[in-house]
A and B are shown apart, each in its own frame.
Chain A
Amino acid sequence: MENILTITNLNKKFGTVHAVNNLSLNIKKGNVYGILGPNGSGKSTTLGIILNVVNKTSGDFTWFDGSISTHEALKKVGAIIERPNFYPYMTAVQNLELVCKIKNISTSKIDEKLKTVNLYERRNSSFQTYSLGMKQRLAIASALLNDPEILILDEPTNGLDPQGIHEIREIIKRIASEGTTILFASHLLDEVEKICNYVIVIRNGIKLYDGRVDEITTSHGLLELKVNAKEQELLEQLPSFYGIESVKIEDGVIIAILNQDVSASEFNQLLIEKGFALSHLVKRKPNLEQQFLTLTK
């Protein structure tokens, strides 16, 4: 598949802080990537570097297999970083016209994109009169102007109210469904889980995981159980049962991690045969959040 962005051994140091540590990545056309990491993990710095606003300390990155220079490549990219930055005294239309001038494209798509983000009615109001949600939507319209090869979004729902978050997510989902490659940084896991099919987990500038979202979330799950009596005996016997990988006890609940596909009813049957009466049995699939917390521990 076509490479859109390749990052090799990228490093960024701010004084003694190693914000991006030997990061390598490959972004391929047609996928939706999520960069996950706690605040201050180096997500925004990485995006800043590939977007030409932060200088790298060492390492390399190439756009479109290095066929064009970074600033030429950025004309084919749509990007939103942290907060929407526009000229406060210009209207939405004027701001977008300026972006078209910079990207060297025609202004014919402005109306269409403003309609996409529901700002068409307010197109002639100056940017400074917009609410944060509207500003963020204008930023998305601006990023879409050139029908970009890749859309880069850095925490696009940060600071928005639930209504605004919902609107932005719907817009992103729609764009993703149209086949646009998206690189999406967030610390909100359900957001990434809902939108992305690839995930990259970063902490302290180090890449911890890089792979499909369904791979990270599909393990065989775990069982939560409680017994009123013979708890110690159960704990001793459990590891020898079929399909159990490990056992631990958390807040008075026994947690058995599975390495085979075992259903809750099969397991219950087995325990009854062995003479254990359960007061609580739940089978869970770990979600991205639990996996993420395990990874970034």
Chain B
Amino acid sequence: MIRLLSIEFFKLRHNRASKVLVIFYFGLLSCIALISAIEVNLGPINFKLAEQGLFEFPLIWHFNTYFAAILKFFLLLVIVSMVANEYSNKTLKQNLIDGLSKKEYVLSKFYMVVAMSLASTIFVFIVSLILGLIYSTDKSVSMIFTDLEYLVAFFIKLISFFSMGLFMGIWIKRSAFAIGALFILYIIEGFVGLFISFSLDRETTAFIKSTFPFNSSESLIPNPIPRLEGVQEISNQLGGVYAQSYDVPIFNVIVSLVWSALFIYGAYALIKRRDL
């Protein structure tokens, strides 16, 4: 495993485009801290984000993982290009000739996906911990380590998203088209969801949608905005009642992991069957 990871890391380390994207990604992740400086000024509504309790433990875990996950597209580019380029440079063929098995090849890419997801999760953990220690009013250990399941959800979200990218990269063989295919899949999912919502009741629709690859991973971390004090005030003023659950849905965790396994196995099956 170490050998495969070091092979993969070596390929990435010397690729300037990938390096720039990765640095940019972690740079942006650190910029979450800047959110604290945001002030919303909408006529009568005036609040400073940092004062809305979003940097309070344990809410900060939910909030930061939700927004950090938006940046995953940068790493998706790296992942898709790292498999698609091996096709266009024919280095996949050379790797196999040099004595890497097809299984080892797919595993090395998967380990890289896990490594990147893990690095992102640890990074978000550290950034959030620092921000929390600065802005949180309650700094007791029990408070700090509450709701860490959002980090687990974040990790799984990245893995399932990147696994899908890995599969697309291997299937389509061209970076740009693979990204395009992911986008098309996303739109198709939206349309199918919309279509079934016409004929089925809300709960069944929600259930079916949560088995889709994008939807299952997207809803791993529920939108935290309604949890903000300011937003709750506004919604109370407007008479809306938010009674939704903000927990990480276990069902989605399972579905996302199943999709990840399917995508990784699918990538292996494709490579195994193909003549290169």
Contacts and interface: CB of A to CB of B under 8 A. Distances in A.
Contacts of B90: 83, 85
A98 interface: yes
B115 to A, nearest CB: 16
B98 A74 contact: yes
B6 interface: yes
A55 B275 contact: yes
A245 interface: no
Most-contacted residue by chain A among B6, B102, B276 (CB, 10 A): B276
Contacts of B97: 51-53, 74, 79, 81
B98 A103 contact: yes
Interface of B: 3, 6-7, 10-11, 14-16, 89-91, 93-102, 104, 272-276
B3 A51 contact: no
A237 interface: no
B91 A48 contact: no
Contacts of A212: none
A116 B200 CA distance: 72
Interface string A214-241: 0000000000000000000000000000
Contacts of B93: 53, 81, 85
A88 B86 CA distance: 11
A225 to B, nearest CB: 52
A71 B272 CA distance: 13
Contacts of A70: 101
Nearest to B6: A101
A72 interface: yes
Contact of B3 (A48, A83, A104, A142): A104
A54 B275 contact: yes
Contacts of B275: 14, 48, 53-55
B89 A85 contact: yes
A87 B276 contact: no
A101 B98 CA distance: 10
Given A85-B89, A86-B89, A101-B6, A72 B276 contact: no
A248 B104 CA distance: 61
Given A53-B276, A73-B99, 12 more contacts: A53-B93, A53-B96, A54-B276, A55-B272, A71-B101, A71-B104, A79-B97, A85-B89, A97-B10, A101-B7, A102-B100, A104-B99
Nearest to A83: B90
A102 B98 contact: yes
A14 B275 CA distance: 10
Interface string A125-137: 0000000000000
Contacts of A72: 99
A87 B16 CA distance: 12
A81 B95 CA distance: 12
Nearest to B100: A102
A94 interface: yes
Interface in A91-105: 94, 97-99, 101-104
Contacts of A85: 89-91, 93-94
A87 B98 contact: no
6 nearest A-B residue pairs (beta carbon): A75-B99, A71-B101, A85-B90, A74-B99, A85-B94, A53-B276
A51 B96 contact: yes
